[in-house]
Structures are given as C-alpha cells and as structure tokens.
Amino acid sequence: MGLADMQREYWVPECIREYLGALGFVLPLEAMEGHIRSWHEWMQSTGDFYDYRDTDGFGRLYEVHRRSIHPAMRVCQEWGSLLLNDKTSVVCEDQACTDWLSSFFSANHFMPAAQATVVKAFGLGTGAWVIWVDVGKKAAKVRHYDARMVVPLTWDEEGVTECAFVTRVFYRGKAFDQLQMHVLGPLGTYQIRTVCFDSDGDVIEPEGVIDKYETGSVWPTFSIVRPAVTNTRVDFSPYGQSIFADAIDAIQAVDLTFDALISEVDVSKMRVFLSDVMFDQKTDGKGKRIPIPFGKGDCTVFRKVMSTEDMVQEFAPALRTSSQSEAFRIALQMLGELTGFGLGYFDFDESRGYIKTATEVSSDNSALMRNIARHEHLLNASLSSIGHALLHMGRTFGEGLPDEGQITCLFDDSIITDTHAEKEQDMREVGVTMAPFEYRMKWYSEDEATARRMAAEVGVSTSDKVAREQR
C-alpha cells in the first residue's frame, strides 16, 4: 500500500461488506452511507459548494475556491466542549469501583479522546466506544470509532445489541483491514470475533490475533454514541443523524456571507492607473521594447496604454462591509438556532472583527438548556454502559472489584451554570436543609458511606481546631 492509499479517507472496504453479507447480515450502512459522506464533506468544508468551476466574460472556465470558517466543524466542536471535558466523572454506587474507573480513564487519557469521539459523532451522526482486549497483557482498553467504521448488526428501538467495527491496522509496514464483531454467544455473553483482510481482500491470520475471544460479559462490550436527534433520513436505521443535518442552508449562508465579506475587501483595494510614459522599458530579446512591470504579484498598479493625460489616476471603490457584516451576523444566528444553541450563541464581534461564542450561557436560554439535557441523557447511558463493561473486564483480569451497582455520569455544567455560586449556596444550606455527607456526595462524587466517614472526620478536625483556638 502506497502513501496515496494511506492518505485517502477510510470507508468500509468492499471485501468486508461481502464477508458480512455472506454471514447473512443486511448492512444498514448501505442506506446511510450517502448521508454520512455528505456530512463528512461539510465537516471538512470540501465538495462542490467550496470548489467549483465558473465561466468568465470570454467563456473561459476557471477554478473557484470559496473561503470557509468551517461552520459545520465549529458546531460539532462546540457541542463536544459543552458536553464532555476532563471534569466529567463517572460514578458508581460503590466507591472502590468509582476510584478504579477514574484511575483507568486518567491513565488512558479517555476523556480527551472521548470528547473527540463526541465531536465526530455529532457531525456524522454516530460514534462508538469499544472494548479492545490484550489477552497477553491481561488488559482492556477503549478504542474510539466514528460512523464510517461502525456497522450495526442487530438492533431494535432500544438500541444496538450486536455491532461490527472496521479499521485499518499496520503490522511491520503492511496495512490490513481489521473487522471486529461484538456479538452475543450461545451463553448470552459477548464474544469478540476478529477477521483480518489483506490488500487483495483475502482473509489472513496475522500472528498474535485471536479469532474469537469470550469476554463472559452480559454487558455490551461497546457503546454507541450519537446526538439526541431523530434520524429522519432513513426509517428504522440504527445510525443517528448529524446535528447539522437540517442546517445545511445555514452553513452555506455563513460561508457565502463570509466569502463575500472577504471578497468585498479584496476587490475594494485602491487601484492606481499610471500613464504609459511613466513605465521604464526594456528589450525582450527580440528587439522589441516592453514596459517593466512593478512586479508579477502587483495587482494595484495598472498601465494606461497610449495615454499622456492624467499621469496618475486613483480609484478606490466604496466598501460595503457594514451590510456584509450584518448578513454574516444573521447567518451565524440562524446557524446557532438550527443546531440547538439558540440565536445568541454564535455572534460576530464588530469591534474586534471575529467570531465569538457565548463563554457563559444564560440560564434563560431555555432551548439550549433543554438540548443539553437531552444530549447528556444519551451520553450518560453510553458512558455508563462502557463503564460496566470495563469493570467486568477488570474483574476478569484479576481486579478485586465489588459489584458496582448503578453507574451515573456527572457532567461539568459550569459553562451553562454558575457552579461556584451554586456550591456556595449549598454550603450555606449544610446543617439547615442539607447534611454534610449529602454535600460531599453531590460535590465530591463520593458514595454515601465514604461521604459520611469523611464528613465525620472533617467535623472532628474542625471541632479540635475550634477548641485549640478557644484555649
């Protein structure tokens, strides 16, 4: 496989589609792939809208590239930063399991990678966190996939129960396509079945790769990530829908107005027309005398042929940037409204001349608050599911972990709420409407037993300090 092959975008190869079809699976990817490819182009700001051909006044074709601020990608990145960051925590009913998960996520830099998965999932409609097992090292890790590499195999209205994941792997300089199927075995527990294909599409058996691994987990060994947006493109599809699927016109409007704004500045540069006699001349090598230009890249000075009047003439078109900026601002507002942020989230700072976002979202933006809650509900289910699977694999490889009970995700909502003020308010309520251990459970992600013990220890320490000060 050459460098050109490595640089191409990755999509499920035909050999894997045929392999899964031979096993009797009907692939939902076929119906959704066109939409996913289109959403991917908008995220990359590529395609016919951005690069096209036009005709000049003489009928000659020329290439045109439309400038872009990558609005589709910006929308996805904003949602990723709003929903998931390093302060997000996954909490179990048992504190030992909470500590183990926290240590695992920290050691494997899970949250930054998970945020990138959320960004892609919101752009392409679907993403996934998947358990990957190193049997030799007795360790489990989490791999991250986007919609281009996810192929649901069994699903219903409640979600995906069996799924395949496709990626490209490299071994000793050679590239292979790897298919991993996470399917239920006869005992009702999940198996991971791995098949590799060479560049010719033939099945191969690389050294060290187990074709079937029994996890023993009743919990799914993968977790689908998608925005809380109904898929209106394909009925009954297990794939989600892009957060900007219904805002394509707004994306176009943003880049159209941005390109127009920059073009306005470019075409409105001052032009200087100089009389022919003001140019020095040189011989072109054939005895013909030609004027010496100011420079090949100079597009502000022009020559007035056969003219001796008005030796220097200036022309400066009037700028229309104020009206262009207003159109740009309206386009940004509509983009925010159609992608769930509300009208005021994206804006154009006219005094400084750049795009800004709301650094602190007002609680009266009820639409955004509701959308955040909906997205967090689905993310909570995804993070909890992968947490259960990780804890099971930890026990499988010798970790002495108790039953974790229920798993809950605590999101960092400091961007949309004044967390510091809320924390201070709760502190004032301690001893009035809230017990000290309840405060610790809420703000320190501790289970009840740990919170009661720590509250008691802190209470004793505080009493001793007060007593010493009184003496």
Question: If we measure between CA atoms, which residue out of 224, 219, 182, 211 comes closest to residue 394?
Answer: 219
Residue 208's pLDDT band, with cuts at 50, 70 and 90, is confident
Q: Which pLDDT belongs to residue 51?
A: 95
Looking at the chain, the whole-number percentage of residues with pLDDT higher than 90 is 59
pLDDT at site 54: 87
Mean pLDDT lowest among 27-41, 394-408, 421-435: 421-435
Look at residue 295 and tell me whether its pLDDT is greater than 60.
Answer: no
User: Using one digit for the tens of pLDDT, what is the confidence trace for 378-411?
Assistant: 999 999 999 999 999 999 999 999 999 999 999 9
Q: Is the pLDDT of residue 166 over 90?
A: yes
Per-residue burial over 224-261, b if 16 or more Cβ lie within 10 Å, else e, is: bbbbbbebebeeebbbbbbbbbebbebbbbbbbbbbbb
pTM: 0.80
Q: What is the mean pLDDT of the chain?
A: 85
Kindly report, residue by residue over 110-123, the tens digit of the pLDDT.
999 999 999 999 99
Asked whether the predicted pLDDT for residue 470 surpasses 70, the reply is no
Residue 320 has pLDDT above 80, yes or no: no
Residue 77 has pLDDT above 70, yes or no: yes
| Average pLDDT of the residues in 261-287 | 68
More confident residue, 382 or 318: 382
Q: Sort strands 203-204 and 212-214 into parallel, antiparallel or unpaired.
A: unpaired
Least confident interval from 78-92, 108-122, 174-188, 340-354: 340-354
User: Which residues, 6 or more positions from 339, have their beta carbon under 8 angstroms from its beta carbon?
Assistant: 75, 79, 243, 244, 247, 250
**pLDDT score at 306:** 61
Select the more confidently predicted residue: 432 or 11. Answer: 11
pLDDT for 353:
45
- The phi-psi region of residue 204 (left if phi > 0; otherwise alpha if psi is between -120 and 50; otherwise beta) is beta
